[in-house]
Amino acid sequence: NAGVTQTPKFQVLKTGQSMTLQCAQDMNHNSMYWYRQDPGMGLRLIYYSASEGTTDKGEVPNGYNVSRLNKREFSLRLESAAPSQTSVYFCASSEDRVSGYTFGSGTRLTVV
């Protein structure tokens, strides 16, 4: 059981570069999420997709875009990376609104 798979695990970008973080789940979950984790700030929701074909902004969407490619895949794009986007990014999925998340193992992104 793979669960939620994120790629890459590590990435270093220069300011202004773009990249896409990939996420795929094999549990047939309807909802998928992107969070960032910063020291002392817990997890903050960037974007989520309640179901295939829909996406919505979370707490901190500025500087990011997402695509729900199909039921399995939900990608996060940084169009022009900034040092403030240095963080650990987690993708998660859930079967419904209440039973909690399954998280991926994260992508550690550094923007220099």
Partner 1 sequence: GEDVEQSLFLSVREGDSSVINCTYTDSSSTYLYWYKQEPGAGLQLLTYIFSNMDMKQDQRLTVLLNKKDKHLSLRIADTQTGDSAIYFCAEKWDSGTYKYIFGTGTRLKVLA
Our finding on whether 90 is near partner 1 (CB under 8 A) is: yes
- Those residues whose C-beta lies under 8 Å from the C-beta of residue 65, and which sit 6 or more positions away, are 76, 77, 79
φ, ψ for residue 14, nearest 5 deg: -90, 150
Our finding on whether 74 is near partner 1 (CB under 8 A) is: no
Contact present, 52 and 30 (Cβ < 8 Å): yes
Interface mask toward partner 1 for 20-59; x: CB under 8 A = -----------x-x------xxxxxx--x-x-----x-x-
Q: How far is the CB of 111 from partner 1 (least distance, A)?
A: 20
Our finding on whether 2 is near partner 1 (CB under 8 A) is: no
